[in-house]
């Protein structure tokens, strides 16, 4: 699903985002990306979304070489990656159903399909009774569930979660992690960047640790450390 082959990203001579990173993540894996602020996690994700170009190396996602990808196909690439962020990124003037439906509308889904898929995904994330609530009427955990629903409603082959539990209390974080695990069990590859040491240690999934833009550890069933 994801392959970084000798990838480096140099912002300035003294600012290194990534340095000679080699990573292979198979379809269906659940992988944690850990490291302190400035370690390279955000650079890794932004390269994956083709927001940046690497200085050196090759990035392949789902068999597609990102450097050879035409600009016209970039929206298609990003639509096939579900993204969940720390700050939810919900549209404040649209209700829960409309926020989720937006992800379907931009891909040209017909109205009939949208009306069917939105309630289904909201039931999956436990928000079937909150369809018509606005984001500011929801708890932080519920808002993040909407974000997860929006990211997964197109059933992408890859879901990227960037600090999805960063603004949540421990109990709510557990619920979000259980939801991401259920999504992973459907066959979706999940890559999660996090500082949540307790959650990583509890899940015991693959852990890729970054420091100063380099991979210092890559372990199956790993710990945060």
8 A C-beta contact, residue 214 and residue 38: no
- Residue pointed to by tokens 């040491």: 197
CA distance 95 to 92: 8
Lowest-confidence region among 2-16, 26-40, 76-90, 177-191:
76-90
Using alpha carbons, list the distances in angstroms from residue 72 to 37, 77, 83, 159, 197.
33, 10, 20, 22, 39
> Comparing C-alpha atoms, which of 26, 101, 84, 16 is closest to residue 54?
16
Question: Virtual CA dihedral for 145, 169, 45, 99, nearest 10 degrees?
Answer: 20
> Comparing C-alpha atoms, which of 192, 3, 189, 13 is closest to residue 86?
192
Look at residue 49 and tell me whether its pLDDT is greater than 90. yes
- What integer pLDDT is reported at residue 210 of this predicted model? 97
Q: What is the mean pLDDT of residues 207-225?
A: 95
CA distance 107 to 92: 21
Which residue ranges make up each domain of the chain? 91-154
**pLDDT tens digits along 127-136:** 999 999 999 9
- What integer pLDDT is reported at residue 44 of this predicted model? 97
């Amino acid at each position: 699903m994801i392959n970084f082959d000798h990838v480096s990203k140099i912002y300035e001579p003294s600012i290194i985002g990534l340095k000679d990173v080699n990573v292979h993540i198979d379809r269906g894996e659940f992988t944690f990306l850990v490291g302190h602020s400035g370690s390279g996690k955000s650079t890794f994700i932004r390269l994956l979304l083709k927001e940046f170009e690497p200085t050196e190396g090759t990035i392949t996602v789902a068999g597609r070489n990102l450097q050879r990808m035409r600009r016209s196909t970039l929206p298609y690439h990003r639509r096939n990656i579900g993204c969940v962020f720390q700050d939810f990124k919900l549209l404040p003037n649209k209700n829960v159903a409309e926020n989720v439906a937006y992800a379907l509308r931009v891909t040209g889904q017909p109205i009939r399909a949208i009306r069917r898929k939105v309630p289904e995904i909201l039931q999956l994330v436990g928000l079937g009774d909150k369809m018509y609530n606005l984001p500011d009427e929801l708890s932080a955990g519920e808002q993040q569930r909407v974000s997860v629903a929006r990211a997964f409603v197109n059933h992408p082959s890859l879901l990227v979660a960037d600090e999805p539990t960063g603004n949540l209390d421990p109990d709510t974080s557990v619920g979000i992690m259980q939801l991401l695990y259920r999504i992973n069990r459907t066959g979706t590859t999940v890559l999660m960047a996090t500082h949540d040491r307790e959650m990583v240690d509890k899940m015991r999934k693959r852990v890729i640790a970054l420091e100063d833009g380099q991979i210092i550890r890559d372990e199956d069933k790993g710990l945060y450390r």
